[in-house]
A = this chain, B = another copy of it.
Amino acid sequence: MVTVDGMALGKDYATQECSIARALEVIGERWTMLVIRDALYGVRRYNDFLVHLGIPRAVLAARLQTLTAEGILEKRRYQESPPRDEYVITERGIALWPTLRSLGIWGREHFQEARLRSYRHADCGTELGTYGECPACGTLVPVADVLMVPEPGLSQDPADPVSKALLKPKRLLEPVETTSA
């Protein structure tokens, strides 16, 4: 049966009856997970995503729109006159933190020597366990209480202002400062 709309390549893993497949239909496209990672880091503005990711403008626009439509980001007016919007991560997006953390750990352990960043419980300074829990406190750490700490191995003096801003320790979700003024 040939359905009316001709979505051939895109998005849907038609035959799969599986929540992983459902998830990948939403966030499985190229660049999407990196956009979400940046949003967790506190990146919010079109231009910041652009320079930090090195993503084509058209693709970024498409991804931001999809992620907004799926309720993972929320488009929010942060100033009138010049009307400017920012894209803020929602609860649904924040819920991807364990996935991204375990993916990052896997990537580092299997394909990378150096450790670039560590993640700590802001309250006590303890480094997080594999799933984002605090071994000392024995609790699951809310994402807003995760402190991202750059480690040596991360290149000093990067080109773009966003990478530069991410060079100092900061909490996740807290907006990055790129006041180029």
The residues of A with any CB-CB pair to B shorter than 8 Å are 9, 13-24, 26, 28, 30-31, 33-34, 37, 53-54, 71, 92, 95-96, 98-100, 102-112, 116, 130-131, 154-155, 158, 163
Contact = CB atoms under 8 A, between A and B. Distances in A.
Given A9-B30, A24-B34, A28-B33, 19 more contacts: A13-B34, A16-B54, A17-B116, A18-B34, A18-B37, A19-B104, A19-B111, A19-B112, A20-B107, A22-B108, A23-B103, A23-B106, A23-B107, A26-B111, A96-B106, A98-B102, A98-B130, A130-B131, A131-B131
SS of A interface (majority)? helix
B19 A54 contact: no
Given A54-B14, A98-B131, A131-B98, A104 B20 contact: yes
B28 A16 contact: no
The oligomer's copy count stands at 2
A53 B111 contact: no
B98 A110 contact: no
Contacts of A102: 98-99, 102, 131
A99 B95 contact: no
B103 A20 contact: yes
Contacts of A24: 33-34, 103, 107
Nearest to A54: B15
Given A98-B130, A130-B98, A131-B130, A17 B154 contact: yes
